[in-house]
Structure 1
């Protein structure tokens, strides 16, 4: 794993967030694009929570965080979905 504090346990404590994006049912690159749009409207240090159902979203969001400098605070997998928490740089 990268420097991001990534938790894949469904029961892990969720970080506080200021905005939520529901990208359920969408496939790459749409969840990333929606997260990017939300982050652009936020202040530095704020967290967005992104809900996805795309099986590849875990790796996609890890790569997105590395490439953009935003921090992937946590990822949580549950039945058929994944929740990603990104902190704006």
Structure 2
């Protein structure tokens, strides 16, 4: 995520309604699964094996650089009734998939 400072055309603080920084789309993950360099279906297998380590309602992130994960992770979430929260592009390449455990 990038922080965007106040633009030059915005009013100084206290003189109007300046926009507030955007909130992150979800709380930070309590578990990060590093599947970078692993090919399908390993990222999904790693997620399935470890999601029980995360308390219900909390977030797990899966880091993967196999393009198949972009469809596999959301599909697994639908199939297993877990909440796919969001996807981020990683600066080093690949993606971070954020999943909220529902049960």
Give the corresponding residue for 2:96: 83
TM-score under structure 2 length normalisation: 0.69
Structure index of larger Rg: 2
User: Structure 1 segments of 4 or more deviating over 4 A?
Assistant: none
Is the Cα contact below 8 Å between 1:38 and 1:48 reproduced in 2?
A: no
What stretches of structure 2 of length at least 5 have no aligned partner? 3-21
Give the aligned length: 80
Alpha-carbon shift at residue 33 of structure 1 (Å): 0.9
Q: After superposing the two structures, state which structure 1 stretch, 26-35 or 77-86, moved more.
A: 77-86
Q: Distance in 2 between matches of 1:23 and 1:78?
A: 13
Structure with more of its chain in strand, by fraction = 1
Provide, for residues 37-67 of structure 1, a one-character-per-residue CA deviation record: whole Å limited to 9, x for no partner. 2212222111101100101111001100100
Query: Greater relative contact order: 1 or 2 (C-alpha under 8 angstroms, separation 6 or more)?
Result: 1
Q: Which runs of 5+ in 1 are unaligned?
A: 1-9
Counterpart of 2:75 in structure 1 is: 63
User: Is 1:17 aligned with 2:29?
Assistant: yes
